[in-house]
Every structure is written in structure tokens, then in C-alpha cells.
Amino acid sequence: MIKVTSKICFLIPFLAACSFLHGIQSTIEVRSAAFYHTSKHFRKNYNNVGPCYEIEASISCNPCYAFWANFDWFNKHGRAFGRTCRSTIKNCHHCSRHPSTRVHIANFSLGIKFPFEICPCLLGYVGVGPSFSNIWIKNHTHHHHRKKTSKGAVGVVAKSGINYYFTPCAFIDLFVDYLYQPVHFKHRHHLDIGGVKAGGGIGFVF
């Protein structure tokens, strides 16, 4: 009797675990977006819009919500505004242009999203979560001097989008995200390197 009871006690959690694992749904997708930065200073140096590339994974054991994690990468070449050599040396004809600059931003975010069904093949969602970034800025002067700056930042991201399932295991994601990501630089107040990201991607269900 004791042996039978012990086997039943072992079997019940095992069956519950199997049922839980069977209900888990995970997705992975590759996304790209146009990134419009809210900072006027950032847009002045790197133009209004730049490309952003992402990979995102999610896991859900309940149709009402899902947990997600996202990594994205942004890099852009621009022009650093400021005084040129000609402004201080009148006869300088080789360095009248502005120095160049390049920015790289790596961003990792995670959080929770809430899907809602629009029709059998369309699924909308909204989500929110914290974001952790690092920005690298490299400025090149006319005399081949390089100045590198690296800063970390913590912010928050709000997500929204629509998934179109063209098969039960694959979908197209059209999304608009808003990222708030303030960074404190030495000679400036906090600069928001975040903004609005709009784009699309393709994902797969496992």
C-alpha cells in the first residue's frame, strides 16, 4: 500500500509537468526597423532615421500573456558639428569640412506582452519592459585623431504590433516600439538615445 501511494505521489507531479510543458509555446523572429531618435542633437549628427536590426524570442504558457527578450543593434555614420580647422587657421584648405563620427548602440530588453486576437490569422499585442543599452561613439578629427566614448544606460520600452500567421508555425510581425533611454555624458545633460522604431520581421513558432 505504501509503495502504491509513493508511486502515485511521483506520478501526479510528473503528469502535471508534462501538461505544463505541452502548453508552452515559444517563438523566435528576426526583425528590422527604421529608428527615429527623439533627440534633436542626435538627429543633427546622424540624420533623422537609421536602420536597426533585431532578434527577439518569446515564451508563453498562457494565451493571455507572454514573456519576451530582445536584442537589437544600431550603427550610423554621421558628421560631428563644431568648429573646423579653417575657423581658426585662415589658410587651411585641407580641413574645411566637419569631422566625422560613428555611433554604435547595443540594446537588450525583456518584459511581458499581452496578445489579443483580431481574427483567426491576425494577432495584435502590446507590451512593456526594461531596457539596458550601451552606446559607443567614435569621433575622427581632420588630423586623424580619434576620440572614443562608451556609456551604459537603463530605460524602458513600450511595444505594439500585429502578427499575421500565414501558416500555423510562421508569421509576419509589423510593429511600432517606443524606447526611452537617457544617457549622461560628461559635457551634457541627459541625452535620450531612444525614439520610435517601426518595422517588420518574420517569426517561427515552436
What's the whole-model pTM score?
Answer: 0.77
Longest dimension (CA), the chain: 102
Whether the CB-CB separation of 97 and 82 falls below 8 Å is answered with: no
Residue-wise pLDDT for 19-60, tens only, equals 344 468 999 999 999 999 998 888 888 888 999 999 999 999
- Report the distance separating Cα 84 and Cα 6, nearest Å: 82
Asked, for residue 149, whether it belongs to a domain, the answer is yes
Can you tell me the distance from the alpha carbon of 185 to that of 147, in angstroms, rounded to the nearest whole number? 14
Integer CA distances (angstroms), 46 to 34, 39, 62, 78, 101, in order: 13, 11, 42, 5, 8
Domain membership flag for residue 134:
yes
Quote the domain boundaries for residue 155.
25-205
Cβ burial of 68 (10 Å; 0-12, 13-18, 19+) is buried
Residue 89 included in any domain: yes
101 and 45 Cβ atoms separated by less than 8 Å = yes
Tell me the per-residue pLDDT of 68-125, one tens digit each, with 9 for 90 and over: 999 999 998 887 654 444 444 445 544 545 678 889 999 999 999 999 999 999 999 9
Say if 12 falls within a structural domain: no
- Euclidean distance between the first and the last CA atom of the chain, given in angstroms as a whole number: 42
Number of domains in the chain: 1
Distance CA 30, CA 203 (A): 6
For residue 165, what is the domain's CATH number?
2.40.160.20
60 in a structural domain: yes
> pLDDT tens across 121-164, in order?
999 999 999 999 999 988 876 555 667 888 999 999 999 999 99
- Is residue 6 in a domain? no
pLDDT confidence of residue 10: 47
Evaluate whether residue 3 is within a structural domain.
no
The answer to whether residue 52 sits within a structural domain is yes
